[in-house]
Structure 1
Amino acid sequence: MINPRTAPYAVLLLRLILGTMFLAHGLTKLLALTPAGTAHIFQMVGFPGFLAYPIIAFEIGAGVMLILGIYVPWVAAIACVQLLIASTVHFGNGWSFSNPKGGWEYPVFLSLSSLALALLGDGIFTLRRSSKL
């Protein structure tokens, strides 16, 4: 049975963890890899290079929105799809992310965590509650 007193705080924790992860990944693509470098990496793995730019914007924006609690279920649902698509690059590399070129368990875990957050809802301490999915 879910504890109704603590569940909103668990959602908040999941929201903060995923938001921080998205923010870190987006900022890494923007500042360390650079957008042009990220576009090149996307092309090397079979994605169109131009997708790097909206992905960088989405990851940074989604990170901020999740941390602040803005339309959480909707942002998390989109994040789930984005991460599942990103996971396809790693499917042939095996399970462990420590494998050469990275395995698929980390992006799939993040995708399913985003799905869980989308299903759970906004949680507590939100700036903008969303309508239910």
Structure 2
Amino acid sequence: MIDSRTAPYAAFAMRLALGIMFLAHGLTKLFVFTPAGTAGFFESIGFPGFLAYPVIAFEVVGGLFLVFGVYARWIAAIAVVQLFVASTVHFGNGWSFTNANGGWEYPIFLCVTALVVALLGDGAFAAKSSVKA
């Protein structure tokens, strides 16, 4: 049975964790690897390099939206797709993310986390709800 008193706070915690993760990944691509370096990496794994730019933008802006609770359900739903596509790079590396080139366990976990946020909703402390009450 779902505890309706604490469920909004659980959804908030999940939304916040997912948003911080996206911010960390997006800012790393932006400031450490650089957009050009990220584009080069994308090309090296078979993705078009130009996709690095919208991915970086989504991770930074989407991460902020998740943290602040702005259309979080929609952002999380889009994130499910983005994270699943990112996971495909790791499918051949086995389960554990400690495997060479990272396995698929962590990116699929993030994909499921985004799905949970999309299904649960914005949670407590959302600035702009994705759905009308």
State the TM bucket, normalised to the shorter chain: over 0.9
Aligned positions of 1:89-108 closer than 5 A: 89-108=89-108
Deviations along 1:73-120, one digit per CA (max 9) or x if unpaired, are: 100000011000010000000001111111001000000110011000
Secondary structure at the aligned position of 1:36 is classed as: helix
Aligned positions of 1:94-133 closer than 5 A: 94-131=94-131
CA distance in 2, matches of 1:92, 1:49: 21
Residue segments in structure 2 that go unaligned for 5+ positions in a row: none
Matched, 1:87 2:87: yes
Cα offset for 1:9? 0.3
Question: For residue 41 of structure 2, what is the aligned residue in structure 1?
Answer: 41
CA distance in 2, matches of 1:83, 1:77: 10
The one-letter code matched in structure 2 to 1:67 is V
Q: Calculate the aligned-residue CA RMSD, in Å.
A: 0.8
TM-score calculated relative to the size of structure 2: 0.98
Runs of 4+ in structure 1 off by over 4 angstroms are: none
The one-letter code matched in structure 2 to 1:117 is V
Cα offset for 1:131? 1.8
Residue segments in structure 1 that go unaligned for 5+ positions in a row: none
Cα offset for 1:25? 0.1
Question: For residue 24 of structure 1, what is the aligned residue in structure 2?
Answer: 24
The one-letter code matched in structure 1 to 2:65 is M
Secondary structure at the aligned position of 2:97 is classed as: coil
CA distance in 2, matches of 1:32, 1:122: 31
Question: For residue 64 of structure 2, what is the aligned residue in structure 1?
Answer: 64
User: Percent identity of the aligned residues?
Assistant: 64
Deviations along 1:35-78, one digit per CA (max 9) or x if unpaired, are: 00000100011100000000000000111000000001100000
